[in-house]
Amino acid sequence: AAMREENIKKTKTVCTYCGVGCSFDVWTKDRKILKVEPQIEAPANGISTCVKGKFGWDYVNSEERLTKPLIREGDAFREAEWEEALELIAGKFIEANKTYGPDSMAFISSSKCTNEESYLMQKLARGVVGTNNVDNCSRYCQTPATMGLFRTVGYGGDSGSITDIEQSELVLIVGSNTSESHPVLATRVKRSHKLKGQKLIVADLRKHEMADRSDLFIQPKPGTDLVWLSAVTKYIVDQGWEDERFLKNRVNGLDEYKKSLEPFTMDYAACVTGVKKETLIQLAEHIHQAKTTCVLWAMGVTQHMGGSDTSTAISNLLLITGNYGKPGAGSYPLRGHNNVQGASDFGSMPDRFPGYERVADDNVRSKYEKSWGVKIPSEPGLNNHEMVAGIHNGKVKMMYLKGEDMGLVDSNINYVHSAFEKLDFFVVQDIFLSKTAEFADVVLPASPSLEKEGTFTNTERRIQRLYQALEPLGESKPDWKIIMDIANRLGADWQYDHPGDIMAEAASLSPLYTGVSYERLEGYKSLQWPVAKDGVDSPLLFIDEFPFPDGKAQLFPVEWTKPLEFAEEYDLHVNNGRLLEHFHEGNMTYKSKGITSKTPEVFLEVSPELAEERELEDGTLVRLTSPYGSVKVKCLVTDRVKGKEVYLPMNDSGEGAINYLTGSHADKDTDTPAYKEISATMDILKEK
Ligand code: SF4
C-alpha cells in the first residue's frame, strides 16, 4: 500500500468555477485526478462542494488542450516555438505603438485567472504600453452591482460574509438562480430556511428551485425590479418604519432621496410590474418585521439598461432599513466566476487601479508612476464594450486577450466577430482553442488553475491561495509567466519568481491589501479585504463607518429606465441564465466527462400556455430570431416560465448560443450588455 501511495499527491486548491470560492484538497497521481476532498477548515464551504467542484476537472487532461503556441497562416494555424510567437507579438506591439500610439491597443484580463495575473495584465497595459485600455469580463455581469455599491456605500463587494447570509432573519433573492449558479451558498440558505426559521423571499421571472422553496415569490414583468424595490422602500418610509437612528447618524441625502421616491406609489408599482399591491405590501411588512435582512442579487438585476440603478435601489432599501454594518445583514451581489471579484479588485478596469483607486486621481497615479517608473495617462481607457466599437471605428488596432471567450459571451456576437476580423493583430491566450481564438493571429497556450499558484477572491471578498497540483501540460505556461515574458520583450525588467512577489507588490501599493501576504494566506487561511497592516481583515464591512470622506453612506436617487422595446413581431421575451452542471459557454465543463455524463442538453424552456398555443412539445426543434441573429434549439415545456417568456440557458457554444440573439444595448452607466432585454420570434423547424 505504501508503494502504491507513493506517487499520490494531495494539493489544496480553490474551485475554478463559481464565486462561492469553495476550497478543497485535490488528490492526484501523475496527471490523473483521483478525487476532490473538501476539508472542514475550508472557510467558504466546509465539507460541501457542488457537482462542478467535485467532478468538473477532467478538462485539464482534455486532448483539446493547447500545448504549443499557434501562429496564423492564411485560414489555418501552425504550431510554433515560444520564441517565435513572443518575438512576433513584441514586434507587432512595438510597431502599433509607433504607428498609432498606445491607445490603439486593448487588453482583456480574465476572471478565470488569478489576482496576480490580473494585476500584471493592467500593469502591462498601463506601466509598459502606456494605455488604460484594460478591462475584464465583470463588465458582462457585475459591474452594475459594483456601481450601485460605489454610489451608496463606497465598496464594490459583498458587505458581509456567507455566514451573515446564513444568520440573517430574512433573505431576499432578486434575479438570481442561486441553487444552480451558486449551489453551495444556496445550500446554506436552504438549511437556514428549513431549520432556523429564516424567511426567504424570491423575485424572479422564472420559478426556479429557490422560488419554489420561498415563503413569498413575486414574478414581476421583465425589467421592472427598480419599480417594486422603490415602491417597497417608499412604503416603508411612509409607514415610519425606516431606521431613524441609523439614517441620522450614518447616512447622507435622506430628504432628496425621499423626494425621489414620490412617483413610486404601490398603485403605480402594481401597474408597471404586474405584481399585486397586497403582495408588495406583504413584502414590505416582512422586511419591517425582520431584525436583519440580506439581499442577494445577480444578473437578473444587472444585465439591463438600468442595471446600475436597480442595484442602487437595492442598496438604498438596505440603507433605509439600517441593514448595513451589522451581522446577518447587507448587500450580496453574487459573483459569477471564481475570480470575477478579484479581476476588478486588482485593477483590470479602464478607470481604476488595484483596490479601486481612481486612475483620474493625480496622487494615486503618481504613486504608481513612481513605483513603476513610467508615465500613466490620466484619462480612463476603453471598456470591453467600447473596445469592440473602437475596433469597428478604426481606433483600436490590436488586442491582447487572455482567458475570455469574448466571441461567445459578449452580447451581439455577430457584431463582435466582425470586429475581431478587422483587428490588425489579435493575441489570444487560453487553455483551449476557443471561439474567440479562432479569430486570433497568435494563440498562446496557458495553464489552468491546477497547474499554477496564485490567489482567487470569492464573492465575500475572501482571498484564498491555490497551489500547484500538476505540471503545465505540454509547453503551456501559467498566464503570469507569459505576461511577464511579453512585458520584458517590450523593454520592462520584471523579475517575479513567484506569484507571491506580485501580491507583495500589489499590497505595497494598494491600501485595500496592505496586510496581505502569502504567509498569511498559507494553506486554508484566508483574508477578506480590506486587510490592515497587522493582518486584521474585514469579514463584515461598515461596522463603524463607510469609506466616504465623512464616514457616512449616501442615499442615491434613481429613476426607472424602461426596458428596450422591440417591434411587435418579436413577441417572445427571451430570458437567459445558467444550468447547474455547466459553466457558461461550457468550454471547461463540456470537456469534463464527470460532468457530461450527468447533463441534460441545452433546451429552451417554454410555458405550457405557449406550448398549447403553438403546438410545441418536449423536443420540438425551433428557430428563435431576434433583430441581431438567430439560434436553433429544442423545446422543453415547463411551468418554470410563464406566458410568452422563454428561457434559454447560456451554456451552448454552437447553434444555440444565446448571444447570437442579444443586442449591443447596455446598462447606461457601465456598458454592461443588457442580455436580459431581448425579444424574438419563433419558427418551428421540421428537421429533427
Ligand atoms: Fe465550485 Fe461554486 Fe460549486 Fe463551490 S459552489 S464547488 S465554488 S462551482
Instruction: List pLDDT tens digits, range 31-79.
Output: 999 999 999 999 999 999 998 899 999 999 999 999 999 999 999 999 9
Same domain? For 237 and 374 the reply is: no
Same domain? For 266 and 364 the reply is: no
Same domain? For 179 and 160 the reply is: yes
Same domain? For 167 and 303 the reply is: yes
The pLDDT of residue 592 is 66
Same domain? For 90 and 239 the reply is: no
Cβ of residue 563 lying under 6 Å from some atom of ligand 1: no
Q: Can you tell me the distance from the alpha carbon of 652 to that of 435, in angstroms, rounded to the nearest whole number?
A: 12
The pLDDT of residue 1 is 44
**Nearest by Cα to 187 from 285, 53, 314:** 53
Domain-embedded: residue 361:
yes
Same domain? For 36 and 81 the reply is: no
Average pLDDT over residues 621-637: 93
Same domain? For 417 and 329 the reply is: no
Domain-embedded: residue 273:
yes
Nearest-atom index, ligand 1, CA of 17: 8
Cβ of residue 15 lying under 6 Å from some atom of ligand 1: yes
CA atoms within 13 A on the CB side of 529: 28
Q: What is the three-state SS of 384-400?
A: HHHHHHHHHCCCCCEEE
- Cβ within 8 Å of residue 382, ≥6 positions away: 103, 106, 133, 135, 350, 390, 396
CA 651 to centroid of chain Cα atoms: 15
The pLDDT of residue 655 is 75
Q: Which of 279, 314, 334 is the last residue in one of the domains?
A: 334
Beta bridge partners, 369, equal none
- Name the band, by pLDDT with cuts 50, 70 and 90, for residue 576: confident
pLDDT exceeds 70 at position 531: yes
pLDDT exceeds 50 at position 155: yes
Average pLDDT over residues 531-552: 97
Lowest-confidence pick of 81-95, 209-223, 417-431, 600-614: 600-614
Ligand 1: centre distance to CA 383 (Å): 28
Domain range for 209 is 143-334
Average pLDDT over residues 457-463: 96
**Nearest by Cα to 646 from 680, 600, 621, 597:** 680
Torsion, Cα 393 398 402 408, to 10 degrees, reads 30
Same domain? For 151 and 124 the reply is: no
- Give this prediction's pTM: 0.93
Same domain? For 378 and 404 the reply is: yes
Cβ of residue 283 lying under 6 Å from some atom of ligand 1: no
Q: CATH number of the domain that 179 lies in?
A: 3.40.228.10
Nearest-atom index, ligand 1, CA of 15: 1
The pLDDT of residue 359 is 97
Same domain? For 103 and 186 the reply is: no
The pLDDT of residue 649 is 83
Is residue 667 within 8 A of residue 304, CB to CB? The reply is: yes
The pLDDT of residue 279 is 98
Ligand 1: centre distance to CA 428 (Å): 27
Lowest-confidence pick of 4-13, 471-480, 509-518: 4-13
Q: Which residue has the cell 445550500?
A: 187
Q: CATH number of the domain that 501 lies in?
A: 3.40.50.740
Query: Using only C-alpha atoms, what is the Rg of the chain?
Result: 24
Q: Can you tell me the distance from the alpha carbon of 43 to that of 22, in angstroms, rounded to the nearest whole number?
A: 8
Q: Which residue has the cell 470591453?
A: 384
Q: Can you tell me the distance from the alpha carbon of 502 to that of 495, in angstroms, rounded to the nearest whole number?
A: 10
CA torsion through residues 244, 250, 255, 260, sign: negative
Average confidence score pLDDT of the chain: 93
- What percentage of the chain carries pLDDT values higher than 90? 86
Residue with CA at minimum distance from ligand 1 atom 3: 50
Q: What is the DSSP string of 396-419?
A: --EEEEES--HHHHSSSHHHHHHH
Q: What is the DSSP string of 192-248?
A: HHHHS--EEEEE-SS--HHHHH-SEEE-PPTT-HHHHHHHHHHHHHHTT-S-HHHHH
The pLDDT of residue 686 is 81
Same domain? For 485 and 602 the reply is: no
Q: Which of 334, 352, 370 is the last residue in one of the domains?
A: 334
The pLDDT of residue 213 is 96
Domain-embedded: residue 304:
yes
- Name the band, by pLDDT with cuts 50, 70 and 90, for residue 138: confident
Is residue 490 within 8 A of residue 400, CB to CB? The reply is: no
Domain-embedded: residue 558:
no
pLDDT exceeds 90 at position 331: yes
Ligand 1: centre distance to CA 344 (Å): 20
pLDDT exceeds 70 at position 318: yes
- Name the band, by pLDDT with cuts 50, 70 and 90, for residue 688: low
The pLDDT of residue 687 is 63
Tell me the three cell numbers of residue 105: 491597443
Domain-embedded: residue 534:
no
The pLDDT of residue 139 is 85
- Name the band, by pLDDT with cuts 50, 70 and 90, for residue 337: confident
**Nearest by Cα to 36 from 595, 484, 502:** 595
Lowest-confidence pick of 180-194, 266-280, 385-399, 645-659: 645-659
Q: CATH number of the domain that 36 lies in?
A: 2.20.25.90
Q: How many domains does the chain have?
A: 4
**Nearest by Cα to 380 from 125, 137, 143:** 125
Q: Element (H or E) spanning 680, and its range?
A: strand 679-684
Same domain? For 232 and 312 the reply is: yes
Q: Element (H or E) spanning 88, and its range?
A: helix 82-100
Higher per-residue confidence, 214 vs 5: 214
Domain-embedded: residue 560:
no
Average pLDDT over residues 548-572: 95
pLDDT exceeds 90 at position 277: yes
User: Which amino acid, one-letter code, is at 357?
Assistant: E
- Cβ within 8 Å of residue 99, ≥6 positions away: none
pLDDT exceeds 50 at position 556: yes
Cβ of residue 52 lying under 6 Å from some atom of ligand 1: yes
- What percentage of the chain carries pLDDT values higher than 70? 95
Cβ of residue 20 lying under 6 Å from some atom of ligand 1: yes
Tell me the three cell numbers of residue 30: 501523475
Domain-embedded: residue 556:
no
**Nearest by Cα to 658 from 419, 388, 304, 409:** 409
**Nearest by Cα to 402 from 109, 17, 64, 92:** 109
The pLDDT of residue 258 is 98
Query: Whats the size of the chain, residue-wise?
Result: 688
Residue with CA at minimum distance from ligand 1 atom 4: 22
